[in-house]
Structure 1
Amino acid sequence: MLFFTDYGNVATVERCNMDGTNRTRLVDYKIEQPTAVALDVVKKLVYWTDAYLDYIDVMDYNGRNRHTIIHGSQVTYIYSLAVFEDYLYATHSDSSKGSSSVELLQIHRFNMTAESRTMASLGNTRELRVYHKLTQPKVRSHACEIVLFGKPGGCSHICLLSGSYKSRSCRCRTGYSLDSDAQSCKKPKNDLFLFYGKGRPGVIRGLDMNIKSSDEHIVPIEDLVNPRAIDYYAESGHIYFADTTSFLIGRQQIDGNSRETILKDELDNVEGISVDWIGNNLYWTNDGYRKTISVARLERASRTRKTLLEGNMSHPRAIVVDPLNSQPSIIDENRGATWHHSNGANPLGIVTRKQIMSNR
């Protein structure tokens, strides 16, 4: 089983199976700010702390037989909690000694009259665990044991224990979905989907066009900072992206493979990119010290880059290409939209700033 605390509009201690099913609320009264939880897996007891009401309480796995172990100034603002043998171990902030003073407490969990003992001052500590093999009891066999071809519980990707260690559910990594056998994982067809980039944290994700499924349609492109521009090349299955804060243009296949940075130098503020799927080229705008429109081959981009346009632009931002008619369209924030031939020649203003103010 999995136990967790939550506080906000309604503070709770909850329980669910380890595959996320059968979510059950165990505590929702006399609770304000539960900050830590710990288990006695032998006796099947749940201990938790409340940093607002200053107590440590205990109950069984079903939410029954609740009672208080300790409360009051001895246990003000507890950050973490651990159980071993007859004792609870907790870190708490002693306001009388300053907010940065965190003490380690030892509390007898069966003798309510025993005084808690301060074991150490730990500075700015927020987490605590007891390391001992007795805290993780073994079983002879379980449902997620490695079977044929090294698959845990027969699952292609992830095996999760369910109601007990004798039952399991298979799950798939992000970007894949569970097949009809409830064990194998398959890739979405990826014929039609939306993909989008966002910051904080920086990530690019795929979304079902019909909003029929919560499954993601690509393996997310993660560990980005601020992906401001994205495009794709269907032939190779690559998503191209510009991470403006990291000053790079990169790509990754929709199955999560072949992540690489293809351009790094002289990229001040790339606000737009566009893939020429006929000529196998990548176009991008650069709104930095130099105001430029550039192009490079999709392969060996760093060795084949060329500046097509420079100057006579204030803030080059969005860009799209039409290789069938050999024309890219560029939006300059202060000047409007312009068409050029793909080699940068013959600019034609089609929308002026007086007609439209672009702001993606």
Structure 2
Amino acid sequence: MIAYDDNGNHTVLVEHNISYPVDLAVDWIHGLLFWSDKNWNTINVMDLNTKQRKVLFKENIERRQAIAVDPSKGLIFWTDDYNNAIERASMDGNDRMLFSVDELGLRTVRVYHNVAQPELPNKCDQHTCGNGAICLPKGNSFDNEGKPQSRIGLPYSCVCADGYTTGKEPNTCVLII
């Protein structure tokens, strides 16, 4: 496994005892790199400063796909394709928990920390879609500075709730009888 910097220089991070890395996650607070290896059915961790590495999980690890970390809480999450689940543990390998999921083929898991989310206006606070409709803000309707993007149309969508269907007028819903 090789890392490149902005100038095109590279550093070999992992050269031996690696087969098929599926996903990577970086703990930017503690300087740790996590990866899952599909062929060896392991989840590994390496200290990016010392280059010391270890296998974090190797028991009951089958067909792992994706990993994500929450460094502020010291947690690692990964998908379990075999059991249709998401697992969670402390980043030191303790306190392992399995959460069943009904979805088949779960391929990714992400952690979105509230501190890292942009402060953007919610257009659904300023607009109602009418009876039987649900207002859904469009996540890509603002640029990086929080200004509306005109090229995508309205910064929200109105969808009909269960038991309603689309009406004749735009953004209206009618009760199904």
Same fold judged by TM-score > 0.5?
yes
Letter in 2 for 1:55: T
- The superposition leaves residues 230-268 of structure 1 with CA deviations (integer Å, 9 ceiling, x where unpaired) of xxxxxxxxxxxxxxxxxxxxxxxxxxxxxxxxxxxxxxx
- CA 1:134–1:42 in 2, change beyond 3 Å: closer, same or farther? farther
- CA 1:134–1:39 in 2, change beyond 3 Å: closer, same or farther? farther
Match of 2:85 in 1: 103
Counterpart mapping for 1:278-317 below 5 A: none
State the 1:32 CA deviation. 0.8
Match of 1:346 in 2: none
Contact 1:27 1:63 in 2 (8 A): no
What is the number of residues matched between the two proteins? 114
* Residue from 60, 68, 76 that aligns with 2:62: 76
- The superposition leaves residues 300-326 of structure 1 with CA deviations (integer Å, 9 ceiling, x where unpaired) of xxxxxxxxxxxxxxxxxxxxxxxxxxx
- CA 1:132–1:87 in 2, change beyond 3 Å: closer, same or farther? same
Letter in 2 for 1:83: V
Task: Say what the alpha-carbon RMSD is for the aligned residues.
Answer: 2.0
- CA 1:135–1:57 in 2, change beyond 3 Å: closer, same or farther? farther
C-alpha distance in 2, partners of 1:135/1:47? 20
Match of 2:74 in 1: 86
- The superposition leaves residues 274-333 of structure 1 with CA deviations (integer Å, 9 ceiling, x where unpaired) of xxxxxxxxxxxxxxxxxxxxxxxxxxxxxxxxxxxxxxxxxxxxxxxxxxxxxxxxxxxx
Structure with the bigger percentage of strand: 1
C-alpha distance in 1, partners of 2:50/2:24? 14
State the 1:113 CA deviation. 4.7
* Residue from 57, 60, 66 that aligns with 2:53: 66
Contact 2:18 2:37 in 1 (8 A): yes
Contact 1:79 1:91 in 2 (8 A): yes
Higher Rg: 1
Query: Is 2:29 the partner of 1:47?
Result: no
Q: Give the SS at the match of 1:36.
A: strand
Counterpart mapping for 1:198-347 below 5 A: none
Match of 2:131 in 1: none
Query: Is 2:25 the partner of 1:38?
Result: yes
- CA 1:35–1:135 in 2, change beyond 3 Å: closer, same or farther? farther
State the TM-score, normalizing by the size of structure 1.
0.30
Contact 2:31 2:49 in 1 (8 A): no
Letter in 1 for 2:65: Y
Query: Is 2:81 the partner of 1:118?
Result: no
State the 1:87 CA deviation. 1.2
State the 1:67 CA deviation. 1.4
Match of 2:2 in 1: 14
State the 1:39 CA deviation. 0.7
* Residue from 91, 113, 120 that aligns with 1:132: 113
- CA 1:16–1:70 in 2, change beyond 3 Å: closer, same or farther? same
Higher relative contact order (CA 8 A, sep 6+): 2
Q: Give the SS at the match of 2:104.
A: coil
Letter in 2 for 1:28: E
Letter in 2 for 1:42: I
Q: Percent identity?
A: 24
Where structure 2 has 5 or more consecutive residues not aligned to the other structure, the ranges are 118-177
Q: Give the SS at the match of 2:13.
A: strand
